[in-house]
């Protein structure tokens, strides 16, 4: 069983991908061509992997660590359901997950 991920772009377009259980959301997003830089490659030293989780899914995820919350404080366009994609482990039990790219994510694609 895979985990169905829906990525919602800044302009509202969606892309749905199937992810292998146990993978990290950042990896899956990058493989799907989503505009997440992930500069520190999951070392929790940037915040360029910031995504906004659908509120219904947010409550189903394990809580963010204090370190993650601290980093999110520094990210732009943070919301109450913001998370770092490198810290989201796609557990099979999750089934599906919807995340939005934060405003400004488009800039990283070098339009
Ligand atoms: Fe740097 Fe997630 S990739 S904090």
Q: According to DSSP H, which parts of the chain are helical? A: 25-31, 55-58, 66-72
| Residue 7 within any structural domain of the chain | yes
Cα-based angle 91, 58, 105 (whole degrees, multiple of 5): 100
| Residue 106 within any structural domain of the chain | no
Residue in 28, 30, 48 to alter for ligand 1 test, most ligand atoms within 8 A of Cβ: 48
pLDDT beneath 70, residues of the chain:
106-111
| Residue 110 within any structural domain of the chain | no
Domain CATH number, residue 54 = 3.10.20.30
Give dist(CA 54, CA 31) in Å, integer: 21
User: Distance from the CA of 111 to the center of ligand 1, in angstroms?
Assistant: 22
Which atom of ligand 1 is the closest one to the Cα of 71?
4
**Total domains, the chain:** 1
What is the C-alpha R_g of the chain? 13
What confidence tens digit (pLDDT) does each residue in 49-76 have?
A: 999 999 999 999 999 999 999 999 999 9
| Residue 105 within any structural domain of the chain | no
Q: DSSP letter string over 2-19?
A: -EEEEEE-TTS-EEEEEE
User: Distance from the CA of 42 to the center of ligand 1, in angstroms?
Assistant: 4
Q: What range does the domain containing 77 cover?
A: 3-100
């Amino acid at each position: 069983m895979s985990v169905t991920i829906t990525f919602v772009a800044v302009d509202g377009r969606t892309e749905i991908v199937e992810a292998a259980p146990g993978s990290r959301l950042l990896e899956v997003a990058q493989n799907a061509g989503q505009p997440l830089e992930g500069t520190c490659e999951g070392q929790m030293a940037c915040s360029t992997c910031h995504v906004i989780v659908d509120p219904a899914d947010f409550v189903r995820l394990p809580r963010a660590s204090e370190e993650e919350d601290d980093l999110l404080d520094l990210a732009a366009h943070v919301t109450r359901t913001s998370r770092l994609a490198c810290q989201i482990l796609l557990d099979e039990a999750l089934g599906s997950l919807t995340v939005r790219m934060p405003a400004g994510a488009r800039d990283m694609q070098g339009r």
